[in-house]
Amino acid sequence: MKINKMKTGIPIIIIGLSMFVMGLAVYYSIQTGQTEPIMRNIKYIGGTFIGLSGMGVTLAGILLYLINRNESPIQENFDV
């Protein structure tokens, strides 16, 4: 009997990679010499948090993909 498994790994990997890219964009789009504390907080806290969260989500997607792969059946041949 074959059970259909949901392929959730690939969409989660794509979401994680997009989060990582958005974190990089936020971090590097704001100038380093910005004197406003709000912009500095958005850069350092927001960009870092989104980027690191994206890495974690990507890792979770990879692990889900690897866990849900179909295993090939073991073929036992005991003929000598």
What pTM value is reported for the model?
0.73
Strands (E), the chain: none
Distance in angstroms (rounded) separating the CA atoms of residues 15 and 11: 6
**pLDDT exceeding 70 applies to what percent of the chain?**
90
Which pLDDT does position 1 carry in this prediction?
A: 46
Residue 75 CA, chain-centre distance (Å), reads 35
